[in-house]
A = this chain, B = another copy of it.
Amino acid sequence: MKNPGVIEFWYEFASPYSYLAAARIERLAAERAIRLDWRPFLLGPIFQRRPHDPSPLQHPSPAQRRYRWRDLQRLCAAEGLALRLPSTYPRSGLLAARTALIAIDEGWGAEFTRAAYHANFAEDRDIAAAEVIGAVVAALGREAATVLERATAQANKVRLVARGEEAIRRGIFGAPSFLVGEEMFWGNDRLDQALAWAAAAPSLPPLG
């Protein structure tokens, strides 16, 4: 394992299970003294590369769609986390992810991430819209125009694309994903297991 004691949190702002993970991860990592690396990225480009495996966000069966929101409702209720059925789903996480990169640079990435998820999944606001992300940024006491300008600068756009390439290279196919070195854990359900792995670095050779 490359980085014991560090967990990378790969998250997509369109993903409601990432919302759950973002609400829990900082507290749980701190309890185990594990360093947390926030890694916003986009799933869309990954889904587009696999024509035989369409996005589970875009093409669930009706039964599966109904189930997902009920499952999220139960999980959020257990976590004391607000949830509203979004009027649009999935919403593009592009602008939120670009903005999160800037916020992380400046040391307020965790706050921005949770606030953007709250806007999307607790308040049913359109996080794809610049005015919504601007309002979220302003509510955190930041200069919205300046932040949005940095977020949409060419260099930052390229950075997010590179992040997506890295995700594919490292085998990521969904969100949230947690990486401990190159050991990958997929889904909010695996957060505790990933943290335990980061804390203890168990030995488990590849399955023969």
Contacts and interface: CB of A to CB of B under 8 A. Distances in A.
A155 B67 CA distance: 32
B54 A171 contact: no
A67 B208 contact: no
A27 interface: no
How many copies of this chain are found per oligomer?
Answer: 2
Contacts of A187: 189
A64 B54 CA distance: 13
Given A77-B204, A84-B208, A208-B85, A60 B67 contact: no
Contacts of A146: none
A63 B172 contact: yes
A71 B172 CA distance: 13
A207 B53 contact: no
Interface residues of A, number: 38
A2 interface: no
A190 B68 CA distance: 13
Interface in A174-208: 174, 184-187, 189-190, 193, 204, 206-208
Nearest to A208: B85
A207 B73 contact: yes
Interface of A: 50, 52-54, 59-61, 63-64, 66-67, 69-74, 77-78, 83-85, 168, 171-174, 184-187, 189-190, 193, 204, 206-208
